[in-house]
Structure 1
């Protein structure tokens, strides 16, 4: 059984398109808010602060399953699908009520901002991420 990180995200009026649905590009923003909450807030609570020092997105993929209307907050459930030496894949499901409205993946790489280069995951980062695998 996968342990999932759960994030509730309010929708903003600016998330809507002309048809009254969440704009497709805004889904990435909602996923980003959930990812930041996991990698910065939850990781910090677990004693891991190095992810805050730099993580870059290598790749995004997203499937839109149904439109999401303006209204109640959406629920985003995330887990770590794969961990490698210098990258990891975050998988997401965005729920509108009880229905999955979208699925996505982000390939992330820890990054040394000062040195401007990718770096390997630390043991503490790997341990934290493994908790959501």
Structure 2
């Protein structure tokens, strides 16, 4: 998918985050580490602030993989929009595709794999049927981003 083809409308999950002056680095743009924080905002909105929690009681999500492709700089001041969609639902894991936007410009894309983990045993635990149904409803029509 070409950069110009990616839009926030491609993502059923949407969040907004404020760019802080402290997010900038010596070059005057948002530091690359902050991009991961913006992606986290999108995941939290989708998984923890949903109408009902996705993780079972006694479980949480841990990141198994985070890959980021930087496409353009983000500049202060302003906001960044975060798009999130489910790419794949496994028995205990979820693959997410995300993108950051400043205005209409896509500034980064990411792929994240998170695992549903029992907080006591620290072992993966199968997602509930309700969670799978919810997550399947958030799948995008394209796996390009």
**TM-score normalised over the length of structure 2:** 0.83
Alignment partner of 1:71 out of 77, 83, 87: 77
Matched positions, count:
130
Q: Which residue of 2 aligns with 1:36?
A: 44
Unaligned runs of 5+ residues in structure 2 are: 1-8, 140-145
Q: Alignment partner of 2:37: what SS?
A: helix
User: What residue number does 2:125 align with?
Assistant: 119
1:48 aligns with 2:72: no
Counterparts of 1:1-133 in structure 2, within 5 Å, are: 4-42=12-50, 45=51, 47-48=52-53, 50=55, 53-133=59-139
Q: CA RMSD in A?
A: 1.7
In 1, Cα distance between the equivalents of 2:78 and 2:66? 26
Distance 1:3 1:65, change over 3 A: closer
- Give structure 1 stretches of 5+ with no counterpart: none
The separation in 2 between residues aligned to 1:2 and 1:51, in whole angstroms, is 28
- Which TM-score applies when normalising by structure 1? 0.90
Q: Contact (CA 8 Å) 1:48, 1:128: kept in 2 or not?
A: no
Runs of 4 or more, structure 1, over 2 Å off, are 47-53
